[in-house]
Chain A
Amino acid sequence: MSSTLFKRASLFSVVGVLALGPLALFAQSAQANSLNPTATTRKNAGTPNSTINVKKNGTVIKYGNKYITYSSPSTKLDALGEALYMENCASCHGTTANGVPASGVSGAFPDLVGLGPATIDFWISSGRMPAKDPRAVEAPRRQAALSSTQAVAIAAWVNSLDPSYPSIPKPNLKNASVSEGAAIFALNCAACHTIEGDGDALASSTFSPSLRHIPAYQVVEAIRTGPANMPRFTGNLSDKQVADVTKYVTSYIQHPQNPGGFGLGGLGPVAEGFVALLIGVGFLVLICYWIGERT
């Protein structure tokens, strides 16, 4: 009698565990979902959780606010994008954009699925992709091999595999503040890109690129997606702050004021010191020689 009771109790406990286990797992995954590793929960920070939110057939195709609007590429470009992708990208990233080429091993090239159109558009429109040397530590900025429409088309097709964000940004810098942008730049960007925006060497053969000739939308794309070693700026910067820093980069950094009339490439006090020594002191030495020379 007591043994059957024991058996029933153990049976109940087994059933209980079987029933509750998946529930517990579900609860855990719900917690994980609320902490999306690729996006922020902050409002107006580059995600569809924004003031403007335009949906079409259930998916958000345009979102943002008065500072930046993000638009998904038109699905009409999917076919063109697929053709361009197969021609320019598939040899490394694979025909399904999962980073596994037909002849290679996985892990050598990045998986592109779910990165969002802004990432794809940034890498192609800044000329970094298709890479000149796919084995290089860091792809340098080059003259873009594909037109901006072609870049958007490839972004459209990759996005159609797994629709994701951030979409391609269009900053409106009219309402942005240069002075606030300067403060944000000094705190968040200047450490790597230098306070003049010229870029510099970093660890392990990597470098931070110059910001001199970058269109505003690419500045936003880089901030929001964090290409290569650059950190991603998600919920730590609002769209207003991103617009501020973009305005600072495209105005003051790209068109610096040089009260002396000659910026020397903004390379800083070392370059200026060398010029002062070579030209200034050299000239003074010649003058001294002339004054002291016997006639």
Chain B
Amino acid sequence: MSEHDEHRTPVSLSGLSADDSHLQPAAKNPHTVEMVISIMFVIGAILTAGFGAAYWVNAKPWILGATMGGGLFFLGIGLVAWGKYLMPRGPFVEERHTLANSEADRDAFAAAIVERGGSVVKRRKMLAGLLGGGLGIFGVVAMFPLIRSLGPLPKGTLFHTDWRKGSFAVDQTGRRVSVGDLAVGSIVTVFPEGKQNTDRGQAVDQTVLIRVSNEHFTTQKGRESWAPHGYVAYSKVCTHLGCPVGLYEQQLQLLVCPCHQSMFNVTNGAVPQFGPAPRPLPQLPLYVDSDGFIRAQADYDQPVGPGFWERS
């Protein structure tokens, strides 16, 4: 026990005899450990070479990853084992002197800086002023990319979509939807014609068109003419955080938002009946033209999507 304690006592490196126990490897049988470590290194070398070969023949990504990762892993294991078991076990200590300069040295240095620096700047007032001006302008200009990174002002775009009076409802291929297309229980995502391939069209204008019945369909007071022949259209942008409300459960007559499980009642003006959505999905007023195509009576009567600061 006492011998063990003696091994663990930190000693200074200087003046140790070569056969001191602190200089012996930590391992009891270093030859065995050396053998194990060399096996690790050989495996690591083989795998690393394998990585080179795999890279050369353009092998699959997982082979590249496995050979490189395995190679580095075994080399690292060997390295750590070498450090732990074969190096002198120690522990060693070494007294160190103080790092700080003396008080007098520091005072003299500070005085020299202030004196010399001050006199130089005073002598070249114009240069100092110009430098200050340049740095000031740089500070102002540095604000530009910061402000620009906030993006363009939204202006009125949050309040309106691209749906207009008479917009044809088209599917994602640009095909106009006609009144005979859908059977009851069918749903299609529609866009105002010409906007189906634009970023804004797919983000803001996306609208679900559902045929919920075979008759003229009223969801709420004041919307008597909005759903001809049972076709009803709601904004596909959730009023909570703007996810696409794409889950239509046709027996339950629910539109479900996949992000936070808000549920909107399709047969009652998309009023939310569960979940965090604060408002109903806005409804798009529809009409069927003389050729049987489904078109919008007007834009949405309110901003689509989540709430924002200026939204009344």
Contact = CB atoms under 8 A, between A and B. Distances in A.
A236 B175 CA distance: 9
Interface in A196-245: 202-204, 206, 226, 228-236
Contacts of B246: 187-188, 190-192
Contacts of A187: 172, 189, 246
A42 interface: yes
Given A203-B274, A206-B249, A295 B89 contact: yes
Given A191-B246, A230-B250, A259-B61, A41 B178 contact: yes
A32 B115 CA distance: 100
B4 to A, nearest CB: 13
Interface stretch (B96-104, B116-124, B251-259, B277-285): B251-259
A192 B187 CA distance: 13
Contacts of B250: 226, 229-232
- Which applies to chain A's interface (DSSP): helix, strand, loop or mixed? loop
A34 B180 contact: yes
Contacts of B263: 203
A228 B182 CA distance: 17
B181 A183 contact: no
B160 to A, nearest CB: 24
Contact of B248 (A35, A45, A231, A234): A231
A191 B26 contact: no
Interface in B172-192: 172, 177-189
A74 interface: no
Nearest to B66: A261
Nearest to A191: B246
Contacts of A191: 244, 246-247, 258
A138 B222 CA distance: 37
Contacts of B261: 203
A39 to B, nearest CB: 6
Contacts of B184: 37-38, 232
Contacts of B180: 34-36, 40-42, 235
A49 to B, nearest CB: 10
B247 A260 contact: no
Given A41-B178, A191-B244, A231-B248, A236 B258 contact: no
A232 B251 CA distance: 11
B256 A40 contact: no
A234 B181 contact: yes
A37 B214 contact: yes
B247 A295 contact: no
A291 interface: yes
Nearest to B60: A259
A226 B185 contact: yes
A235 B186 contact: yes
B264 to A, nearest CB: 10
Given A187-B189, A236-B171, A259-B61, A38 B249 contact: no
B195 interface: no
Contacts of B181: 40-42, 45, 234-236
A6 interface: no
Interface in A236-295: 236, 259-261, 290-291, 295
Contacts of A232: 183-186, 250
Interface of B: 26-27, 60-62, 80, 84-85, 89, 171-172, 177-189, 210-211, 213-214, 229-230, 244, 246-252, 254, 256, 258, 261, 263, 274
14 contacts: A35-B180, A36-B183, A37-B183, A38-B184, A42-B181, A187-B189, A190-B246, A191-B244, A204-B252, A206-B249, A231-B185, A234-B186, A236-B181, A261-B62
